[in-house]
Amino acid sequence: MLEPTLIGELAVLGLTTGLLAGLLGIGGGMLMGPFLTLILSHRGVSADLAVKMAIATSMATIVFTSISSVRAHHQRGAVRWDIVKSMAPGIVLGGALASAGVFSILKGTTLAIFFSLFVSFSATQMLLNKKPKANRELPGTVGQIGAGGVIGFLSGLVGAGGGFVSVPFMVAHNVSMLGAVATSAALGFPIALANTVGYVASGMQLADLPDGSLGYVWLPGLLVIACCSVLTAPMGAKLAHRLPVAQLKRIFAVLLYSLAAYMLYKGVQG
């Protein structure tokens, strides 16, 4: 049974990440990971396990939030389903390799450092707002499966939906920015589903998991965050058409640097 204070903290985290996901077109994993690490650490979970559970739980929430996002993009005809179909097999394979294999082998502190570096790179992309030059066509099916494998693998290690990798990849291959964002949202579902299954499978044998855990996934946190983020994601999407999103992204990048510094601290501390 969760305490009311903890439910409130998780609800605020879910509402905030949902709003930012809709507003800025980002996955919530980069924001949720550090805060869930902090919350789990305060509940007595070891630093090593807290990092892993935070990453896994963050990814699991994307299973639910991606559905509403994909639906909205699909209704506008923006999703390139041909790309989704080609990249999904690689995403599933890469995600399974990361979440059910490498994730369980690496120490949580190592993952925290990798998470920090990945978030710092993503924040820099957001701060500079650089768009890759579209100078070539998408590779064939084999090439797209390979790209999907890389995206699924990286996402599995950091608990993010992969948008910071998949969007630049597609834009660089002459997919429109709108199409890339919409298609990335659609790719978020197989990324999240494959990795979540892997996190559950690879963590089932652990003996020191907190109550309410299914493998590395912390179900109470998942339930509260997912319910709240689904509510605010559509609101963020509407606000995106009214607010100066480019400026907001630069402000949010500063927050990401702070969160990356915290995760780096957890990694070095371990």
Most confident range, picked from 27-41, 83-97, 104-118, 168-182:
83-97
| Largest pairwise CA distance in the chain | 54
What is the pLDDT confidence band of residue 54, given thresholds at 50, 70 and 90? Answer: very high
Burial class (CB in 10 A: 0-12, 13-18, 19+), 238: exposed
Report residue 46: phi and psi, to 5°: -60, 155
Q: Which DSSP helix (H) or strand (E) runs through 71?
A: helix 47-75
Q: At what angle do helices 245-269 and 47-75 cross, to 10 degrees?
A: 160
**Predicted local confidence at residue 53, as pLDDT:** 94
Structure tokens at 79: 């999703």
Whole-angstrom distance, CA of residue 114 vs CA of residue 1: 33
Lowest mean pLDDT, pick from 14-18, 79-83, 91-95, 123-127:
123-127
Whole-angstrom distance, CA of residue 61 vs CA of residue 76: 24
Report residue 223: phi and psi, to 5°: -60, -50
Q: Is the pLDDT of residue 22 over 90?
A: no
E strands, 92-131, are none
- DSSP state for residue 136 in the 8-state scheme: S
Q: Which residues pair with 214 in a beta bridge?
A: 217
Q: Which residues pair with 213 in a beta bridge?
A: 218
Structure tokens at 13: 């985290």
Q: Is the pLDDT of residue 227 over 80?
A: yes
Q: Which residues pair with 217 in a beta bridge?
A: 214
Report which residue type is found at 91: I
Whole-angstrom distance, CA of residue 136 vs CA of residue 240: 29
Whole-angstrom distance, CA of residue 105 vs CA of residue 121: 24
Q: Exposed e or buried b for every residue in 78-96, given b needs 16+ CB within 10 A?
A: bbbeebbebbbbbbbbbbb
Report residue 231: phi and psi, to 5°: -70, -40
**Predicted local confidence at residue 144, as pLDDT:** 94
Whole-angstrom distance, CA of residue 91 vs CA of residue 88: 5
As a whole number of Å, the end-to-end CA separation of the chain is 29
Of the candidates 195, 198, 220, the one whose C-alpha atom is nearest the C-alpha of residue 209 is: 220
What is the pLDDT confidence band of residue 136, given thresholds at 50, 70 and 90? Answer: confident
Q: Which residue has the higher pLDDT, 91 or 18?
A: 91
Structure tokens at 149: 């494998």
